[in-house]
A = this chain, B = another copy of it.
Amino acid sequence: MNAEIITIGDELLIGQIINTNQAYIAEQLNTVGIDCRRMTTVGDNAKDISEAFVTAFRRSHVVCVTGGLGPTHDDITKKLVCEFFATDLVMHEPTLEHINTIAQRRNIAMIQSNIDQALVPRACTVIPNPVGTAPGMMFERENKYFFVLPGVPYEMKEMIDQWILPFLQQKHTGLVVRHRTLKTTGIGESMLANEIGDVDAVIGTDGTTTLAFLPNPMGTKLRITVKDPSAQSAEKKINQAEKVLRSKIGKYVYSDDEKDLEDVIGVLLKERSLTLSTAESCTGGLLAHRITNIPGCSEYFLGGFVTYHNRLKMEELGVPESMIADHGAVSKEVAEALAAGARSTAAADLALSTTGIAGPTGGTPEKPVGLCWIGYSDANSTFALKFNFGDNRTRFKDRATQAALELLRRKLLKMQ
């Protein structure tokens, strides 16, 4: 069963909004064995939208459309769907009631545009929107399914998860699809490919297994995919491929699912009943932010210090003034002192620190933009490692926090 995703909105075509919806929908469809073969984005333009409907529904079993269902004048999807399925709009009472309830809860007046959102195409099955006002719609024609959803990401997600996936899972039987992703960091894509060597040794030659390299600033993901009629056989093949990969590049793998490093270190800290604190200069809070993205992190994360100004490095974390004068704030010595200071001030078992030159300016020939020292401290040792994370400020912060978390992972696992 193939799917096609159509996302609608001028904001996408001028690049003002990043299209996260299509990725989410594709990922979810994939979990029930439906392959997304194509994604198309068109603007708030009747001709382009209608043409996309025709082409997509001709060549695919499932079409998912998002966008253009809002209460404002530029939202024309509902009208065009009516034309496409030769139907008209009728008032859907349960939806109207739902919109009324939401308006009351939010203490806002019902205006005409809110009421109009309860109009739905006569020929559709209404998909309830538990978290918003615009309902979704489903049309069924000759065992093909056409879904229309609002473009607001969390509304769309609710409807995919609660309604569309269970619906499609019931309708669809076929190949079992299994993905497994090994997330690596601290090694480049080419070198990783080189260490893996012959790909056929990993994926075999029967054509059911594929291996993809997905590089990004946080590292390279290796994705193994198996499509097989039998779940048991798919599981066996994916385990075998993972085993071969791990034998070659296992030490770079920090996660074998979609977990991020902050998730991985959270589990390791909890298992060991250890607490953590952070002292950040160049990463400016991103390290603490990533750590606190994990629900339940208060079990092991005590807190962090964003010591941007040198005075705070001295007063809060006890970095000696003379050390900053002699070595500079971006130095091995200060990185170590920050880590040790964060550990003792927060009374934590472990601490990480960052100090560097995130740029785009502020570098010197000896200390160029991109230079970063990452410090680590525990009861037995305190040390710092030197990195260069390049001259893009955002990427610098991403890579520096990734390297800090990877350093912690390796220490917790006693790897070198």
State the A residues within 8 Å of B (CB): 10-20, 22-28, 30, 35-45, 48, 70-74, 106, 108, 111, 113-114, 133, 152, 154, 179, 181, 188-191, 193-194, 199, 210-216, 221, 223, 225, 278, 280, 283-293, 295, 297-298, 301-309, 311-312, 316, 345-347, 358-361, 392-395, 397
Contact = CB atoms under 8 A, between A and B. Distances in A.
Contacts of A25: 15
Contacts of A37: 13, 42-43, 45, 48
A332 B15 CA distance: 41
A188 B108 contact: yes
Contact of A190 (B20, B71, B211): B71
14 contacts: A11-B223, A14-B36, A15-B26, A15-B27, A18-B23, A73-B211, A113-B194, A278-B306, A280-B285, A284-B292, A293-B397, A295-B360, A302-B309, A305-B305
A17 B214 contact: yes
A311 to B, nearest CB: 8
A19 B22 contact: yes
Given A15-B26, A39-B41, A72-B193, 14 more contacts: A11-B214, A14-B36, A15-B28, A15-B36, A17-B216, A18-B20, A19-B19, A19-B39, A71-B189, A111-B194, A285-B285, A285-B290, A292-B308, A297-B308
Nearest to A285: B288
List the 7 closest pairs (A to B, CB-CB), nearest first: A284-B292, A15-B27, A285-B288, A15-B26, A285-B285, A39-B41, A304-B306
A74 B278 contact: no
A228 B182 CA distance: 51
Contact of A15 (B10, B30, B38, B297): B30
A14 B23 CA distance: 7
B14 A30 contact: yes
Given A41-B39, A285-B292, A74 B18 contact: no
B23 A15 contact: yes
A306 to B, nearest CB: 4
A12 B306 CA distance: 36
Contacts of A40: 38-41
A10 B212 contact: yes
A210 B19 contact: no
Contacts of A293: 284, 393-394, 397
A329 to B, nearest CB: 10
A55 to B, nearest CB: 9
Contact of A295 (B74, B288, B361): B361
A44 B35 CA distance: 13
A213 B28 contact: no
Nearest to A292: B284
Most chain B beta-carbon contacts within 10 A, residue among A70, A190, A346: A190
Contacts of A190: 71, 108, 111, 113-114, 133
Contacts of A73: 199, 211
A291 B280 CA distance: 13
Given A14-B179, A15-B23, A111-B190, A305 B303 contact: yes
Given A16-B221, A37-B42, A306 B303 contact: yes
Nearest to A199: B73
B13 A189 contact: no
Nearest to A30: B14
A41 B42 CA distance: 12
B14 A26 contact: yes
A189 B72 contact: yes
Given A41-B38, A193-B71, A18 B15 contact: no
A36 B45 CA distance: 12
Nearest to A315: B345
B393 A295 contact: yes
Contacts of A288: 280, 284-285, 288-289, 306
